[in-house]
Structure 1
Amino acid sequence: MDRIFMTREEAIRILIEAHESVCGRSAATLIRSSEDRSTRLEALDRLLLDVRAGRVDEFRTIPEDGTCVSITD
């Protein structure tokens, strides 16, 4: 498992970019089903809120990937 250390601001930026990608603002997301997209959006929304509020200091970028992001504020 890889671990990436970043500031809270960087982590929020990554989560926002992931959210925009899932929302359909990139061509790659057109393949995904709407149910899968909805589930991913809900999870990203919750994680984004928790990271912004400081309730989460670690999360995985992609569950299958195994890369862990550690916030260092």
Structure 2
Amino acid sequence: MSFAVQRLRLSDDGPLSYTVVGDDGLPVDAVEDFLTYLAATGASPNTVQGYAYDLRDFFVWLEQVGLDPRC
């Protein structure tokens, strides 16, 4: 399975946010919950983006060592 960071904007003038999606195109629930929390507590979009990329890298590493990241 592969993972990607996807940029989100809910409306034309809404704040920018990010999520991590699997190869099925669906957000990874645990990551989505955490990134939503960050945004809701006032973290800047750059902070949310940084965490999204780091979490994507972590999930890729988990797969490389043979662990299921969605457990």
Q: TM-score, normalised by structure 1?
A: 0.41
Larger RCO, structures 1/2 (Cα 8 Å, 6+ apart): 1
More strand by share: 2
More helix by share: 1
